[in-house]
Amino acid sequence: MPLVIGDIHGCHRQLNDLLALLSPSSNTPIITLGDYIDRGPDTKGVIDTLIALGPQLIHLKGNHDVFMEQARTDSAMYDFWLQPMVGGQETLDAYGGHLDNVPDAHWQFLASAKLYHELDDFICVHGGLDPKVPLAQQSPEVLLNLRFQHAKKHCSGKTIICGHTRQIDGKPKLRRNTLCIDTNVFGGGYLTAFDTQQHIIYQVDENSQCQQFPFSIS
């Protein structure tokens, strides 16, 4: 039963609480949808915890993760990344104020992130899919940046699970065969996981309050 976790955004405590709630076995695949960094207080802790999951983790790349990678070598992107609306300063602070302090293993984690992951009935991606383009031919720009409000049923017929478009009310949303589980973890909402076999939503908030409920995708 693969479990899919939405945008974490440096919220390490919520990640630990969610993993405790899920209590996955060591052979349960855990798919994370990207945006591990920015805005929340402990990006370093988030990535350490995810790396420790080992081979059961299938981690995808988010647009914020790309910002951090580009900021390493591009001064204009570095300045953009540190703007308050982006949230890079919180990530930088988590590493003692300088990108030179980021461990090699964390750069490798970001570099090795996939752009999508396909399951029997689902396609997991950070942003979304061009509805008419086969999965293997999708543009990275679309995979990383398509917004949920532009989602349309994909030609594969599979349900898409995405993050990227923050649901301010903290509730997962379904439209046009796309389930969005970016539920405002850093802004008073929840970190969300979806059980792809049982079709159950699991959520934790900043106060370690947990909830779970069935979620129909039909």
> What's the pLDDT score for residue 169?
98
- Residue located via tokens 């539920």: 183
Instruction: Determine the longest span between alpha carbons in the chain, in angstroms.
Output: 47
- Residue located via tokens 């679309």: 142
d(CA 24, CA 54): 13
> Among positive and negative, which fits the CA dihedral 26, 135, 172, 206?
positive
> What's the pLDDT score for residue 218?
78
d(CA 119, CA 105): 27
Single pTM value for the model: 0.97
Burial letters for 59-96: b for 16+ Cβ neighbours within 10 Å, e otherwise?
A: bbbbbbbbbbbebeeeeebbeebbeeebbbebbbebee
pLDDT tens, per residue, the chain with 218 residues: 799 999 999 999 999 999 999 999 999 999 999 999 999 999 999 999 999 999 999 999 999 999 999 999 999 999 999 999 999 999 999 999 999 999 999 999 999 999 999 999 999 999 999 999 999 999 999 999 999 999 999 999 999 999 999 999 999 999 999 999 999 999 999 999 999 999 999 999 999 999 999 999 97
- Kindly report the number of other CB atoms within 10 A of residue 161's CB atom: 24
CATH of domain 3-214: 3.60.21.10
> What's the pLDDT score for residue 193?
98
DSSP H stretches of helix in the chain: 12-22, 43-52, 63-71, 75-81, 88-94, 104-111, 140-145
> What's the pLDDT score for residue 184?
98
